[in-house]
Amino acid sequence: MKTWISNSDQNLEVFIPFLGKYHRPFLGRCCQTCTPRSWDGFYAEDLSTLGFRDVSRVTERDTRFRGWLVRRVCGFLATWEWEIPSETPRELPGKICGSRRVQDVASSRAHGCGGDEGSRRHWKEEICRILGEIQAPLSPLLLRLCHWMLPKLLSRLFLSVQLQRGQLEMVLRAARTPEVPLVFLCTQQSQLDGPLLSFLLLSQGIGAPRVTVGTRISPGLRSLLQRLGGIFLPSGMAQARSERDEGLPGAVLDAYVQEVLRSRQPLVIFLEEPLGLLQLSDPARRWLLRVLRALRDGAVPDVRIVPVGIAYDVAPGRAGRDGAPPQPLGIAACLRAAFQALRRPRGCARVDFSQPFSLREFVENNLVGPTLSGNRPEQLLLPTILGTCVPDVGNVGTLGAGVGTEEEILVTALGLHTLSADSSACSAIMAVGITAALLLHRHREAVLLPRLMRDFSGLLEQLLLRGRAVGFRGQLRALVLHSLRQLQPPGAGLGPPEASARGQLVRLAGGVRQRLGGEAAGACAIRALLLEVLPILGTPCGPPGIVLSREELLRKILEVLLLLPPILLGLQPCQPPERHSLDILDKLVLGGLLEEEEPESECRGCDVAPRPSSRGHSCWDFTDDSDSDSEDRVPKRCYKVLGVPHHPLGWGEGVSPKSSCVSPQLSEPQGFPGFLLFLCRLLSPVLRSYGRAAEFLERPPWPQPEADYVEALLEFLNEDEDGYLDRSLALSSLQSFKDMGVLEELQTPTGPLLQLSQPFQSASNREKLRAFIHQFTQL
């Protein structure tokens, strides 16, 4: 391990592997900015050496018996020995009815109806009915039976389901903390995630969890899942828009979550919809809000948050269209999906736990930190897009969403932090993800197997050099062939993929994009600067490479970071974009894509940074201009671009060959040439979808409901033969356009409607938006 001190005063650890064996980084350390006191909690250096175990294989070691007969019935014996908490049917309703908030809401309505004994009995029955919609008492027999059958199903679906013993030991240490419950926050890749996590927590001695389930469930499946530990939002909260509208169902849900946390039952909350839409779902916001209220009201002294990442080669039940909305799920649909998954080649799965951190500490640091302050992207990015500038921009906000109550802002901060940083950082990269990224962004035509194997090894080395963990091992040829077999059924082979197959490749390659998202944003910024510089230079210049100023590089990187949400790039939302841009620039230098050099007089020919004018400071100023003579005395810091393709046309259209300023002798990452171009193409599906969404602004009549806009946008994206049909990217572009001020909501009696903001009602400004996005897009 080598430690390199970056220019942004952060220690960056670089793990250098070697053939055969390499250091496996311990994933999932908590955030030092939001939870510094939790950084050393439940963690020890020797945890990474404990190895892995396959949780789908139940052996005699999981029981207290030994012998040849035990080896044949070990699964039954193990499930019979699990400790399942016994519940008294009348005990929980009595506690819920005795809750102060439930009594306040019920008594206020009872007094409005007269307050007699009959009305109070009616409200007590209504409370029990709402509680029955949320949960049901656990059935130990049914729970043991299903968890006895689940390992058999997992062994048919996967070659292995790996779990790192060191991460499990961290969670077990946190579970032994008295009076502090555990809440697991998980991204949802498949409908199998809930049963898998429930089985894992119960079998490893953590406890029988309560698992949140979505709303699109049939009544029969809902009753079955409730007996297995599933919990649901009450029906009255689906249409509620605010805390006041939640009424009695919201009060009952508050009291129920408090009782679950007091009893120290593990609580599992899925932060997104099963289709992996890369955004915090509305049910997840409501569950997180209840956990925060339980902490605020003193129901528990603290809560330990455990982010969870689940990675599959190919997630079961994801064979449908990416543009299709989620469909209601029933028992028949689950059986059909299971039979379809059994017909596929067996893949691999891995479950990773991040380091538990204190929710109280997170709340305290975010209440006084930058989460509740900062300018919105529309205040910073719109002047650049429209060609105007403001005198002073102050600081850049970290979340870009400073609207709402304090509770809502904290819920957004916690959810987005877990989605974009914690869960994604602790998730391993699978072999299918690496192969999908290569087929999509490097080999768009047919490719020979030896070439694909060589590039697989090169990209794997780049990921390991950056401390990213992978969820596979084995011989290189076997890994690549295994990945290709996983990709064959949807029609994504070695040739040019169709639109539906491209959408699947984009989803599978999302793990690589999130691990390299920051550097990919920096590569797109370099591309935009080169397209500005090369036409200006005209003829080849003297220095061996193109030299760009540090200030302009930071400005362009910041523009990309303000355009794309942190969740798409795998960046921590608690850090301001300026800090991210500095870190990205440092990583590009460390990765060998940029080289810092002493400035010369010829450097100005390639410097496109805006000069300070007599009117005041630039709106994207990273330098201290307190002294008017500082520019003459302090030399500018410049960087030489080393990983540029030999032909400038490799960066896209509109660049003339005679304008090249590229040296024929280029320095690129060893073993993976063209890495800078590959990084640019990692974001091409996202930026291309954003560009098509900007073109779509010309079509629909305004205003219109958001649901109609999303469906029409998906149809428009499907018309592009070379595009990427991905519902998550369409929704992401919609949210970004809202944050940037391109679209705004118009409140009407029938509900909110989307409409173009005043600046973008002009066709010329919409064209400027398309040009702004296009400059970063590598085709």
pLDDT digits (tens, 9 = 90+) for 46-66: 777 778 888 888 877 777 778
Residue 301 · residue 179 · CB < 8 Å: yes
User: Residue 764 — pLDDT band, cuts 50, 70, 90?
Assistant: very high
**601 or 183, which is more confident:** 183
For residue 595, being part of any structural domain is answered with no
Residue 707 · residue 325 · CB < 8 Å: no
For residue 491, being part of any structural domain is answered with no
User: Residue 625 — pLDDT band, cuts 50, 70, 90?
Assistant: very low
- pTM confidence score: 0.85
Question: In whole angstroms, how far apart are CA 99 and each of 235, 297, 360, 607?
Answer: 20, 12, 23, 66
Task: Report pLDDT for 379.
Answer: 65
Please work out, in degrees rounded to the nearest 5, the angle formed at the alpha carbon of residue 216 by the alpha carbons of 210 and 222.
50
Q: What is the domain-level CATH number for residue 689?
A: 1.10.10.10
Residue with tokens 């005209």: 538
**Mean pLDDT value of segment 732-751:** 88
Residue 669 · residue 542 · CB < 8 Å: no
**Mean pLDDT value of segment 136-141:** 88
388 pLDDT more than 50: yes
Distance from chain centroid for Cα 337? 25
The pair of structure tokens assigned to 320 is 């449908």
For residue 523, being part of any structural domain is answered with no
**Mean pLDDT value of segment 14-25:** 44
For residue 383, being part of any structural domain is answered with no
Cβ neighbours around 69 below 10 Å, total: 11
Task: Report pLDDT for 437.
Answer: 93
Look at residue 454 and give its three-state secondary structure. Answer: helix
Condensed to tens digits (0 to 9), the pLDDT of residues 256-265 reads 999 999 999 9
d(CA 740, CA 385): 10
Residue 280 · residue 272 · CB < 8 Å: yes
Task: Report pLDDT for 630.
Answer: 42
CB-hemisphere CA count at 13 Å for 616?
7
User: Residue 404 — pLDDT band, cuts 50, 70, 90?
Assistant: low
Nearest to 662 by CA among 511, 526, 772: 526
d(CA 249, CA 286): 12
227 pLDDT more than 80: yes
d(CA 528, CA 700): 30
Number of domains in the chain: 2
Range of lowest pLDDT (242-246, 247-251, 391-395, 689-693)? 391-395
What are the DSSP E strand ranges found in 188-255?
210-212, 230-231
Residue 559 · residue 599 · CB < 8 Å: no
d(CA 103, CA 654): 69
User: Residue 663 — pLDDT band, cuts 50, 70, 90?
Assistant: very low
| Per-position b or e across 181-216, b if 16+ CB within 10 A of its CB | bbbbbbbbbbbbbbbbbbbbbbbbebbbbbbbbbee
Task: Report pLDDT for 393.
Answer: 37
For residue 633, being part of any structural domain is answered with no
User: Residue 291 — pLDDT band, cuts 50, 70, 90?
Assistant: very high
| Per-position b or e across 581-603, b if 16+ CB within 10 A of its CB | bbbbbbbbbbbebbbeeebeeeb
Of the ranges 399-408, 532-541, 557-566, 742-751, the best mean pLDDT one = 557-566
For residue 387, being part of any structural domain is answered with no
Task: Report pLDDT for 356.
Answer: 92
Look at residue 120 and give its three-state secondary structure. Answer: helix
**Mean pLDDT value of segment 321-346:** 74
Look at residue 163 and give its three-state secondary structure. Answer: strand
β-strands 751-756, 304-312 pairing: unpaired
Q: What is the domain-level CATH number for residue 95?
A: 3.40.1130
Task: Report pLDDT for 292.
Answer: 94
290 pLDDT more than 90: yes
Please work out, in degrees rounded to the nearest 5, the angle formed at the alpha carbon of residue 244 by the alpha carbons of 238 and 246.
30
Task: Report pLDDT for 561.
Answer: 92
Q: Is 605 exposed, middle or buried (0-12, 13-18, 19+ CB in 10 A)?
A: middle
Q: One-letter amino acid identity for 441? A: H
Task: Report pLDDT for 256.
Answer: 94
Nearest to 565 by CA among 430, 676, 415: 415
Look at residue 586 and give its three-state secondary structure. Answer: helix
Residue with tokens 């990084």: 679
Question: In whole angstroms, how far apart are CA 359 and each of 239, 296, 403, 566?
Answer: 29, 11, 22, 21
Task: Report pLDDT for 269.
Answer: 94
**Mean pLDDT value of segment 227-253:** 78
- Bridge partners of 548, per DSSP, are 639
For residue 226, being part of any structural domain is answered with yes
Please work out, in degrees rounded to the nearest 5, the angle formed at the alpha carbon of residue 43 by the alpha carbons of 37 and 47.
165
Task: Report pLDDT for 34.
Answer: 87
User: For residue 736, what are the domain limits?
Assistant: 685-770
Helix (H) / strand (E) containing 602: none
642 pLDDT more than 90: no
Distance from chain centroid for Cα 488? 26
| Per-position b or e across 653-679, b if 16+ CB within 10 A of its CB | eebeeebbbbbeebebbeebebbbbbb
Q: Is 388 exposed, middle or buried (0-12, 13-18, 19+ CB in 10 A)?
A: exposed
User: Residue 659 — pLDDT band, cuts 50, 70, 90?
Assistant: very low
**Mean pLDDT value of segment 230-252:** 76
Distance from chain centroid for Cα 710? 21
Range of lowest pLDDT (1-10, 46-55, 674-683, 737-746)? 1-10
Question: In whole angstroms, how far apart are CA 91 and each of 88, 96, 105, 137, 679?
Answer: 5, 9, 21, 11, 57
d(CA 258, CA 95): 10
Sequence-distant (≥ 6) Cβ neighbours of residue 227 within 8 angstroms: 136, 137, 138, 139, 142, 143
User: Residue 567 — pLDDT band, cuts 50, 70, 90?
Assistant: confident
Task: Report pLDDT for 237.
Answer: 73
Cβ neighbours around 29 below 10 Å, total: 17
**Mean pLDDT value of segment 545-568:** 87
Condensed to tens digits (0 to 9), the pLDDT of residues 442-478 reads 988 788 999 999 999 999 988 888 888 888 888 889 9
Of the ranges 367-381, 395-409, 489-503, 734-748, the best mean pLDDT one = 734-748
Task: Report pLDDT for 184.
Answer: 96
User: Residue 391 — pLDDT band, cuts 50, 70, 90?
Assistant: very low
Task: Report pLDDT for 321.
Answer: 47
d(CA 55, CA 353): 14
Q: What's the mean per-residue pLDDT of the chain? A: 78
Nearest to 778 by CA among 606, 458, 528, 509: 528
Task: Report pLDDT for 375.
Answer: 55
481 pLDDT more than 70: yes
Task: Report pLDDT for 171.
Answer: 93
141 pLDDT more than 60: yes
Out of 338, 367, 396, a domain closes at 367
Q: One-letter amino acid identity for 689? A: S
The pair of structure tokens assigned to 166 is 């060191």
% of residues, the chain, pLDDT over 90: 26
Look at residue 760 and give its three-state secondary structure. Answer: helix
Out of 306, 338, 367, a domain closes at 367
**Mean pLDDT value of segment 634-652:** 55
337 pLDDT more than 60: yes
User: Residue 277 — pLDDT band, cuts 50, 70, 90?
Assistant: low
Range of lowest pLDDT (42-46, 115-119, 601-605)? 601-605
For residue 703, being part of any structural domain is answered with yes
User: Residue 140 — pLDDT band, cuts 50, 70, 90?
Assistant: confident
Range of lowest pLDDT (49-63, 130-144, 171-185, 591-605)? 591-605
Question: In whole angstroms, how far apart are CA 608 and each of 202, 419, 531, 548, 584?
Answer: 60, 36, 11, 8, 20
387 pLDDT more than 60: yes
